Amino acid sequence: MSEAGQKKMWGGRFEHAPDKAFYKFECSFDFDRRLLPFELQLDRAWALGLEKINILSAGEKKQIIAALDGIEKRALAEPAWLDASDAEDVHHFVESTLTDMLGPLGKKLHTGRSRNEMVVTEFRMFIKAAAADMRKAVIALIKAFVEQAEWNFGVAMPGMTHMQLAQPILLSHFLLAHAEAFFHDLDRIAFAANTADACPLGVGALAGCAFPIDRRGLAEDLGFARVTRNSLDSVSRRDFALDYLFALSVLSNHLSRLAEDMVLFASPGFGFVTLPDEYSTGSSLMPQKKNPDAWELIRGKSGRVAGAFVSLLVTMKGLPSSYQRDLQEDKEPLFDAHDQTLAMTQIAAGAVSATKFNLANLRKAAEDPALIATEAADYLVAKGIPFRQAHEIIGKMVHDVEGEQQGYAQWPVERLKKYSLSFEADFPEALTVEAALARRQAPGGTAPAAVREAIAEAKAHLAAQEKVA
């Protein structure tokens, strides 16, 4: 049996050592070692808590804290030390190392506490720190959009629905639409961080701590805003992790939509953007290729992040109340989803910033006559024709002009009058891209004045978010 295995946290009532394969199967140290900084923080706070209730003397506490500091130093300086350990999990790793260092005193630290509360406390600490990093990355991404919206202000592009030409919009409006989605992601991330911000430490294995431990003091030491309310609930619940995974799933969904837009816009059929060399790759066979791999990988990885959310959701479904070992399966999907989403967000920010928008191509595409059919119908509405009737009239004109060189904007008034007597010489003026844009002044619309205001609002909103971060 392994050395760590011999110094298990639970050997007394067992006659036989665990099967080797089973021990490997149940160990989580390979991945929960990532919680080591939080474990050590928690251990220091617990030592302090035990001293306050006279379970540890001041001297004992000092010795334990010094040993914990030593573990931290060595772990940082010598990662191979962790690789060599066959501890069951991060909690076992620290306890067995402490015992190696301090003898029987190392065995005192676990008084009154359970790994069930430790693991969930450390997981919450991880998520709070992770959410803070994610916030920063999302803010940088939003900044990249707002900057591009300012740099390219005034440029029109075709707006589409169903991937068909719909109405002209400003490029800046398109860019701010993406920024807007990521603003909502900031709210979801903040919500998850707030759910995680309650400290379970001091709830025991499930029933509460049998020693008069100062739970509020522990929470404060560990940087939590509050303590959890119910001991049984505290060791059972993982909804805070689901909240974070949901926030990541939606964020990565938004990243995937952005990626799909960019892949399309970079394709020869659109030619709206030039892919930055720094975020593209070539083909091993075809010398001409520049591929949007950054965006494709972002789109691809978003499925994996949603998978992590579903994975934990399904793990939780069917569990009874209290701690069950199934809960050990909470960490790997969340760690992976966090790492991937953080990288996706950071790469997206860099790629958006470095993207060159091909303004001439965008303008040319914005002038497609198909984009002003709504303006044509609204022109008739302004002349007093009911909208449904105007829609029908313009529909007929769109049908009849198909295959002709010039659009109906160029028709002589006499020809227009055959469709409606309300057409007059001012018709073409109503059909310019600028006229179409300018009419959409209501807040949230694509009129240049509205978009200029939206940029200012986005900047103010960003500044407020940066203050919180």
Active site residues: 162, 283
Stretch that binds ligand ARG, among 185-193, 289-297, 323-331, 344-352 (CB under 6 A): 323-331
The yes or no reply on residue 234 touching ligand ARG (CB under 6 A) is no
Closest to ligand ARG by CB, 116 or 172: 116
Q: How far is the CB of 28 from ligand ARG (least distance, A)?
A: 4
Quote the least distance from Cβ 327 to ligand ARG, whole Å.
5
Tokens of 383: 């002349």
- Give the number of residues in contact with ligand ARG, rule: CB under 6 A: 10
Cα end-to-end distance, the chain, whole Å: 48
* The residue type at 463: A
Distance CA 446, CA 439 (A): 9
Q: What residues from 75 to 114 belong to the interface with ligand ARG (CB under 6 A)?
A: 89
Rounded to whole angstroms, the Cα distance separating 285 from 299 reads 24
Shortest Å, Cβ 248 to ligand ARG: 20
Q: Which residues contact 316 (CB under 8 A, 6 or more apart)?
A: 238, 242
C-beta closer to ligand ARG: residue 42 or 447: 42
- Out of 8, 44, 115, 391, which residue is the one contacting ligand ARG (CB under 6 A)? 115
User: 375 burial class (0-12, 13-18, 19+ CB within 10 angstroms)?
Assistant: buried
Residue 116 near ligand ARG by CB under 6 A: yes
Strand-pair category, 198-199 with 226-227: parallel
- Told to check if 328 binds ligand ARG by CB under 6 A, we report yes
Using the contact rule CB under 6 A, the part of the chain among 77-85, 233-241, 322-330, 460-468 near ligand ARG is 322-330
> What tokens appear for 385 in the block?
């024709």
CA–CA distance, 176 with 427 (Å, rounded to integer): 32
Residue 338 beta carbon to ligand ARG: minimum distance, rounded to whole angstroms: 17
Binding mask 5-34 for ligand ARG (x = CB under 6 A): -----------------------x---x--
Q: Is 291 exposed, middle or buried (0-12, 13-18, 19+ CB in 10 A)?
A: middle
Cβ atoms of 252 and 245 within 8 Å: the answer is no
The two three-digit tokens of residue 144, written as one number: 């990249």
Give yes or no for residue 231 binding ligand ARG (CB under 6 A).
no
Query: Is 119 near ligand ARG (CB under 6 A)?
Result: yes
Residues that bind ligand ARG (CB under 6 A): 28, 32, 89, 115-116, 119, 323, 325, 327-328
